[in-house]
Structure 1
Amino acid sequence: MQQRPRVFVAGHRGMVGSAIVRQLEHREVDIIVRTRDQLDLVDQAAVQGFFAAEGIDQVYLASAKVGGIHANNTYPAEFIYQNLMIEANVIHAAHINGVAQLLFLGSSCIYPREAPQPMSEQALLTATLEPTNEPYAIAKIAGIKLCESYNRQYGRDYRSVMPTNLYGPHDNYHPENSHVIPALLRRLHEAAVRGDQEVAIWGSGKPMREFLHVDDMAAACIHVMNLDEATYKQHTKPMLSHINVGTGEDCSIRELAETLAKVTGYSGRLTFDTSKPDGPPRKLMDVSRLTSLGWKASVSLEDGLRNAYGWFLENESTVRV
């Protein structure tokens, strides 16, 4: 009887990792997870010991230190150090212990601040990064290059996907250190409950952003992981092997805030604080490579926001902050 593949999901308590676990539960695999208390991925010896003992077949590397503009500006050392250590430890230990397949999850912030829109995979390392999250972006670029280097030198099949801005169940709802959707959703919900007449939003509201529901992201990850190697290589290059994951559509921060106000029932006035940084003027992914591999997003923005808000309401007392 053939043994079921043993699949390690690193970061299973996070938004993306938990979504991947939910979808893997419907497949014929053994899901292996560890909490941070059980396995600190920053600890090289602990990671090596784990892989040596567990006989892992596949790895979804979804563990990372993440946050919005404020968090990236405030904690740059933690963002670059922790992310570099996690990916280096996991990818090297996977190689040393003969793991056949690994999927590394990066971020759209790897692309230059002024990258031509929509951003294609070819834009990587062509110009200057966005200063507000440069340390995090550099760590994620290193993760891509780690995968490419182990593939190139040792013939591994380690792949990378670059998601656009994600949202959904198990997001981080910290009022300052979270990304734009959970931060705004929580603030507008609380403003609606209090009956506030005005909510001030960081920046001008003009930047354009693309958003992908985390269930779509998980589905894309599993799709890319399970492509046969010949098909994957046919659509990538040895030193340009990452794949963008997104919807291929964007909206302004103002439009996002208006949709969130509708979803949360907030009827007050939205104002925009132009003294706060906007970040890049536009971030839209070119997803033609992923489309050619047979996958596209299926969750609309408003439907996805309603799903996220429903989860938030169900979990408000224990929501991750």
Structure 2
Amino acid sequence: MRRMFVPLVSLAFFVPGAAAAEPPHIVLKNENLKFTLYEADAKRGFYRGTRFDHAGVFGHVEFAGHKIFGPWKDSHDPTNHDDIVGPCDEFGIEKGLGYDDAKVGETFLKIGVGELEKPQEAQYSFANKYKIVKPLEWKRSEPVVDGLLVQKWTTEQKANGYGYRFSKTLFVADKKGTVITSEYTLENTGEKRITTDFYNHNFFNVDGDAVGPNYSFAFPWEPKAKELKGKFADLVELKNKEFRFKGKIPNADFVMAGLTGFDPQAKADRQFEMRHESSGVTVTVGHSYPFAKLNVWGIVTTICPEPYMAIDLKPGEQTKWSIAYTFTHEGPKK
């Protein structure tokens, strides 16, 4: 069924030369939402690390007078693995395609990043800065596609028998819409099977507020925690299908755990709500894919639920999925 959409009110482009100190980015906005998308740019991009997908990196979202996502670090190194903002995607957190087969000095593929050189190391680590031997070449769509004001990025790459074609589209459905949707397509164009995973890191914060009792998550299922790390046992309470904080995360500490209790086959279980009490902002995040696992990590400046999807594609196969962020505002609670 073909979808019918009304275009967004405004689209602003910021390109090299327009502002010397500003990385290239796009601003999409309508009557209720305004959000920044940083361009995939191997030389001037806001994010040029070797962990997360480079296309469609969020800045912050402005909604109901509040800023959601946004910077969670005091400094910014565009080549550092986690110097990124807002919803961002990673493929293959354990290793890239062909990493095990590559010898030192040879290359492997990191989906969404490019062809990386394998250094002398005991094992792959997403936190390492790998040399990007061949960055991806991205094609961005025209502002209007089939009557819809969107941004779509496509890329493809092949090396060592592996190959893929990847596209990512971000849009808001109408001029008063409060839903930002990301749609993805991944096709195996190589000779070898692609077995990997995908997740969105979801760097949540609201108005720079410290992570603590103001933040909570609601699930359609009763969450249970495993592999607790940091201050999780001391600070987090799981009860009545909710994840709540008993206190603020101390500056030098963190919380981390795996959450279980969802049914991968139940479509109703493929979502969660982030609630920020003092602002009244709620963000509901819905996924088209079944969760392979769900981790949560947080520090005082950001809290991050991370729902994983398993990917297994034979040569010639493709898969499609989507994530939708729905923003609502009930006003601050007294």
- Mark yes or no: TM-score above 0.5: no
Identify, as 1 or 2, the structure richer in helix. Answer: 1
TM-score, L = length of structure 2: 0.26
Bigger relative CO (Cα 8 Å, ≥ 6 apart): 1
TM-score by length of 1: 0.27
